[in-house]
Amino acid sequence: MKKVLMYLFVIALGVPTNSFAQKKQTTKTDKKEPSYADFITSESISDAGLFTTHETDGKFYFEIPNALLDKEMLLVTRIKELPSNFGGGYVNAGSKVNEQVIVWTLYKDKILLKVKSYSAIADDALPISKSVKSNNLEPVIYAFDIKASNKQNNSNLVDVTSFFNSDVKAISGLASRMRTTYKVRRLDSKRSFINSIHSYPKNIEVVQNFTFEADAPPSNTSSNTLSMQINQSMILLPENPMTPRVYDKRVGYFSVGTVDYSSDKLKSESKRFIKRWRLEPKDPAAYARGELVEPIKPIVYYLDPATPEKLRKYIKEGVDSWQKVFEKAGFKNAIYAKYPPTKEEDPEFSPEDIRYSVIRYVASTTRNAMGPSVSDPRTGEIIESDIIWYHNHLRSYRNRYLLETGAANPSARTLDTPDEEIGEMMTMVIAHEVGHALGLPHNMAASSAYPVASLRDGAFTQKYGIAPSIMDYARYNYIAQPGDKNIRFIRQLGPYDEYSINWGYRVIPNAKTPQDEVKTLDKWIADKSNNPIYRFGDKGFDPTAQTEGIGDDPVLASTYGVKNLKYVAKNLSKWTSDKTNNYDDLKELYGELLGVWGRYIGHVTNNIGGIVENNKKPEQRGNVYSYVDLNTQKKSINWLLANVFETQDWLLDTRILNNIDASGHAAKILGIQTRQLNSLLSNGRLERLLDAEALSSRQYTSLNLISDLRNGIFAEAATKKNVSVHRRNLQKAYIERLGFLIGQKTAAVKNSDINSIIRGELSLLRTQLNSAKNSANTITKYHYNDCIARIDTILKAD
């Protein structure tokens, strides 16, 4: 009330009321806009580079030059440190979890961080580019307030603290699947922070420490906590993109793809380019004359500082072995490895820094190695790669060396494989992973190029190895037999590797566009098209493109392989438990021996319903797809009946089984038999057999397959013999598989001959069993009655 009376009194005296308003206006006018100096002080820690970065009182800032707005950058998210058991063993320090093209763009008083996609493109000069943009809206993953502008540097300052301190899914190292698995509830901001931010001329590296509340963490479960360290690498993509090379499925390369709406054809055009490093000759004139020339920027790999000293030379040799291969493409010293720099040599060296390609040595029980890379989605240019080597991987190679070559190779008959041989194995594994990092996928067709007989020839194997490519899974020569002399047992780089690197990396003179190169690239393929050592293949239905197989005849190769395994099984105790005085290694190796047996079986299985793929262009002669011939398929099913579905007594050695497990032996054998049986009686294989029958009368048919299996697996019913425990298990598995197939409601089964054949074969089998049970012993009679009941249930349900 006093304030109101005073106000009325002032009016009565004629004092202008706008004096109060003037006071408020002055306050507003005097309010100072934030300046650069309010955020960046003499106490700030600044780092000049792509962006100048600043740290002031625990807050982090990016100073973004206007010249870099809307410039394309690659943002790569990697795990730097992680808890044990995270991801089931195949996720490790250095694992890449996301890779995306980003742009920083100005919008009103904010700077937006947007993700840019190259899944669809169009020439900016064409009207359709507007539609492409409208139908491919770029997501905004964060919006930053502009804190201040630096007029002198023509840049804007944004606070990135919250962005890197928050659980932003687009850059999180914790995928949704992991969040579900580990029951992650939320990020704990009090235990999460930015570890460091460093800026370099073309990239920025951010390290974040994240701690999540999790009800089922992968380790330290009582803590209900999952902590990990994440590295964000942001690199400026080249202003002048590399000229891409058109992808051709006749030569194996990883690729990037896009849909181009610029085409004047009646539809959008899919384009694919191979992934490869940018290798440009220092001396183009000398290169054009056919001289070997060094590249402007070679491919350099650094060894992880964590790599054991005794293994470093083998890893380096694995990288350096590609130098001779690149000479076929006209480059010398194109690729090499360097030992990790000391702190004095490079105080800023970090394996996560995207400037460095590193061969990571991971302390993990996982037995594996990988060769991933980071590439420019516009052109396929490989920017960087980290090859992963898991510590326990050499144990797998030691074991397989003993199992697959021990019969013919005395040097492998030991748990203490000589260092140089283990080293050579490691060198070749690294060479294989480097191949991936160079852009090469697996070429499973390579190993079928050499005749089986040649792999028992010492002179041939020493010169050509055991497969034409290191990119195949042809690890060891399991074909060579005891008494074969001077055999090479370990894989090596071969002629296909030289051919593919030349095709992908040789600079083609006067070519200005990707299309300008195609005629030359086609000619290089045509010149080699009739020679199987230059063929690329990777399809699972193709029996000439098989994982872990070698030689041009799977039946003969597996015959030799099984013969060698029998020799190894007979001597396995002598080479292991007799030497160590415990059964641990014997148990481990026997388990892996069953796996090797399963692989040899699988190579023959794939002949049944197999289709050979030979990619061609119409100007080349011959078909792309051809069915495996009738005789080969008949030979293959007979081999399987004798070597898989007959009880394999050599695998039932009591000297082994009575010392490694109390029980479960029959189940292990049945597991492998069932896996092959289910593979033979798979929808895909049966459908391919039906297709083949529809195209030609001289084909092995689905009826042939199911009938041959019935006659072989139930041979005792025809001969009125009693059935052993292993065969009883297998016979039930056969009926169960047919029941599974007939129970499917898919049109491919229900409305095809598959359903009819299965009904007919089960009815015929029931009749056979009803006849055979009367002359069988008690357990066989019980077994047959059980089988008949199962058949009745299946047919009644159907």
> Which candidate, 690, 287, 667, places its Cα nearest to that of 509?
287
Give the 3-state secondary structure of residue 245. coil
Please tell me the predicted confidence (pLDDT) of residue 147: 95
Please tell me the predicted confidence (pLDDT) of residue 749: 66
Residue the block writes with tokens 């600044």: 46
- Answer whether 545's CB lies under 8 Å from 473's CB: no
**Range(s) of the chain covered by CATH 3.40.390:** 284-538
Give the 3-state secondary structure of residue 357. strand
Average pLDDT per run of 10 along the chain, which is 798 residues long? Answer: 40 43 48 84 94 95 96 93 83 85 94 88 72 77 94 93 93 89 92 94 94 92 92 94 96 89 72 95 96 97 92 96 98 96 86 88 78 90 90 89 97 95 95 96 96 98 97 96 97 97 96 95 95 93 94 98 98 96 96 96 96 94 94 98 95 93 89 95 94 90 96 95 95 96 76 90 96 94 97 88
β-pairing verdict for 255-260 and 96-107:
unpaired
What is the phi/psi pair of residue 406, to 5°? -60, -30
Please tell me the predicted confidence (pLDDT) of residue 266: 62
Give the 3-state secondary structure of residue 106. strand
**Residue 518, Cβ neighbours under 10 Å: how many?**
15
- Answer whether 287's CB lies under 8 Å from 281's CB: yes
- Answer whether 604's CB lies under 8 Å from 639's CB: yes
- Answer whether 334's CB lies under 8 Å from 296's CB: no
- Kindly provide the residue ranges of all beta strands, DSSP E only, lying in 120-254, ordered along the sequence: 120-121, 140-150, 155-159, 184-187, 193-199, 203-214, 225-236
Distance of CA 726 to the CA centre of its chain: 37
Q: How far is CA 26 from CA 19, 21, 29, 35, 153, in A?
A: 10, 9, 5, 20, 32
Please tell me the predicted confidence (pLDDT) of residue 9: 38
Name the region of 154 (left: φ>0; alpha: ψ -120 to 50; beta: rest): left
- Answer whether 700's CB lies under 8 Å from 623's CB: no
Cα dihedral value 294, 298, 304, 307, nearest 10: -30
Please tell me the predicted confidence (pLDDT) of residue 477: 98
Cα–Cα distance, 413 to 537 (Å, whole number): 34
309-315: long-range contacts, CB 8 A cutoff, minimum separation 24 = 310/419, 311/361, 311/423, 311/426, 312/339, 313/423, 314/423, 314/424, 314/426, 314/427, 314/430, 315/359, 315/389, 315/426, 315/427, 315/430
Cα–Cα distance, 591 to 661 (Å, whole number): 11
Please tell me the predicted confidence (pLDDT) of residue 119: 76
What is the phi/psi pair of residue 281, to 5°? -70, 140
> Which candidate, 78, 41, 75, 77, places its Cα nearest to that of 61?
41
CATH number of 284-538: 1.10.287, 3.40.390, 3.40.50, 2.60.40? Answer: 3.40.390
* Single-letter residue type at 608: I
Cα–Cα distance, 654 to 641 (Å, whole number): 24
